Amino acid sequence: MAVWFTRSGNVARHLKRNMGFLGKLNHSFLGFHQRNSSLVSPIDESYRNAVVVLNNAMALFSVRCSESTLAEAQRDSRYDEHENQILDFPGGQVTFTSEMRFISESPEKRTKCYQVLDDNGRPILGTSFQPLSKEFAVRMYSNMVTLQTMDTIFYEAQRQGRISFYVTSNGEEAINIASAAALTFDDVVLPQYREPGVLLWRGFTLQEFANQCFGNKGDNGKGRQMPIHYGSKKLNYFTVSSTIATQLPQAVGAAYSLKMDSKDACVITYFGDGGTSEGDFHAALNFAAVMGAPVIFICRNNGWAISTPTSEQFRSDGIVVRGQAYGVRSIRVDGNDALAVYTAVQTAREMAISEHRPILIEALTYRVGHHSTSDDSTKYRPVDEIEHWRMARDPVTRFRKWVEWNGWWSDEDESELRSSARKQILHAIQVAEKVEKPPLSDLFTDVYDHLPSNLLEQERLLRETIKRHPQDYPPEVPM
């Protein structure tokens, strides 16, 4: 065997001198011969046969040029412990393989999903999760119920024509509340638009929600935006912006700033399955990994982007598999399981802050409601599918079962909470409807830090015009 090897080496050296590129053989070809000689005809002493073998081999494998000469390669090249050759390329060392194999476009098995509670609200045997106190669990549950009730009533209000627009989070109450509960108030939130529960958890009052939807004087957004575009500097929740996925690179920038300040806080940003198709998603994850930004990316994979199902949105195994492509640690969780979401987000937060890295969490769930009040989803998906998820897979009911099982909740508590929440929300809407709209001056402020002269001028002209033609202007706009 050794004789054969040497002879092949001689042949190779001879070829290298005479045959240009064909003479540049790499080691693995010879290695291949050693290990898999059954695949080619046995080599005899003649040069011509060796050439035939070499030619056959060329047809089977791409020729790779090596820096070192063949003789040197035989003696000096590195091997790992399994006798696989290692070579340096920009980006680090890679092991060569002589087997040409494409990585499949889809894995054999989809990435597993972390779950704590089964559909009946019982902890799954052997599952680990973060324990909760009674107060905390009840607080989480109350918030989920309040969110659910708020969504129902505001949706109805829009249908009655009292507000112009609304977006529900039906089916995603667990993601909203449980993720918020796992964070501190110092953690900065950059939402998409289906996460009002995070604000609710942090103390945004029902009246404040109503004020924003009605765009009245009490709105801390000064009536500048459409309904559901909430924001609160005090609660570290960045104002909702309608553009999709733009908050992702912004979140990375904010996280980078937190890192530079060495704060014990991270950034959390939410987006849907559709948002991952945006270029900003790619830039954000790539950058976050390169910069080591402490940011948690939470994808609410609810199956639908308005009428586009995930099967038409991407062909990957959901979003979680993309994390590794960018060098981002990732996990898939059951988004309708409040305890799973809570545990995952809390762990992610620790990792993000202590290790200065981004984390990607894919929360699988279902968008029970329509995309918004401008959508009728029965037009593109079956009604019984929607009903199945609304009833049998409701995250609020599931968590309720767990809280009840612990002896922390009763039916009386339930009816009390629901009727109280309903009353409060209806009252908030009634009040908000009657509050004055923002004053005229709010049309011109905040364009810049200070009011520039041209806007002062425009405001003055507008006031003069209104005074001269009051019948042309709405009466309820305070001057």
Partner 1 sequence: MLGIIKQKARCGVFPSSTVGQTLQRVRLSLFALRNYSTAPKEMTVREALNSALDEEMSADPKVFLMGEEVGEYQGAYKISKGLLEKYGPDRVFDTPITEAGFTGIGVGAAYYGLRPVIEFMTFNFSMQAIDHIINSAAKSNYMSAGQISVPIVFRGPNGAAAGVGAQHSQCYAAWYGSCPGLKVLAPYSSGDARGLLKAAIRDPDPVVFLENELLYGESFPVSAEALDSSFCLPIGKAKIEQEGKDVTITAFSKMVGYSLQAADILAKEGISAEVINLRSIRPLDRSTINASVRKTNRLVTVEEGFPQHGVGAEICASVIEESFGYLDAPVERIAGADVPMPYAANLERMAVPQVEDIVRAAKRACYRSAPMAATA
Query: Which positions touch partner 1 (CB under 8 A)?
Result: 188, 190, 219-222, 224-225, 229, 231-233, 238-239, 241, 243, 246-258, 260, 279-280, 282-284, 286-287, 290-291, 442, 445-449, 452-454
- Residues 60 and 49: beta-carbon distance below 8 Å: no
User: The dihedral of CA 182, 268, 355, 275: what is its sign?
Assistant: positive
Closer residue to partner 1 in complex, CB, 392/447: 447
The token pair that represents 37 in the structure block: 């000689």
- In the bound complex, what is the minimum distance in angstroms from residue 347's beta carbon to partner 1? 24
Query: Of the two residues 249 and 318, which places its CB atom closer to partner 1 in the complex?
Result: 249
* Identity of the residue, 282 or 422, whose beta carbon is nearer to partner 1 in the bound complex: 282
Of the candidates 169, 232, 330, 372, the residue annotated as catalytic is: 372
Q: How far is the CB of 251 from partner 1 (least distance, A)?
A: 6
Show the beta-strand stretches assigned E in 234-309. Answer: 267-272, 295-301, 304-305, 308-309
Smallest distance from partner 1 to CB 231, Å: 5
* Distance in Å, CB of 267 to partner 1, minimum: 8
Nearer to partner 1, 96 or 444 (CB): 444
Q: Which two tokens stand for residue 373?
A: 């009040």
Q: Residue 337 CB: number of other CB atoms within 10 A?
A: 32
Output the smallest distance, CB 478 to partner 1, in A: 16
Candidates 242, 354, 415, 441; catalytic one: 242
Beta-ladder partners of 85: 79
- What distance in Å separates the CA atoms of residue 146 and residue 418, rounded to the nearest whole number? 7
**Mutual angle of helices 27-36 and 47-60, in 10-degree steps:** 100
Residue among 67, 61, 68 at smallest CA distance from 31 = 61
Give the number of other Cβ atoms within 10 Å of residue 215's Cβ: 22
Is the Cβ of residue 146 or residue 211 nearer to partner 1 in the bound state?
A: 211
**190: closest CA among 233, 146, 145?**
233
- Told to judge if 242 belongs to the known catalytic residues of this protein, a careful annotator would answer yes
Q: Is residue 156 among the annotated active site residues?
A: yes
371 catalytic residue (yes or no): yes
DSSP codes of every residue in 456-474? HHHHHHHHHHHHH-GGGS-
Query: Which one, 289 or 338, has the nearer CB to partner 1?
Result: 289
Q: Is 312 a catalytic residue?
A: no
Q: Which of 45, 72, 156, 457 is catalytic?
A: 156
Catalytic residue among 8, 362, 371, 377: 371
| 446: region left, alpha or beta (phi > 0 left; psi from -120 to 50 alpha) | left
As annotated, the active-site residues are 156, 242, 371-372
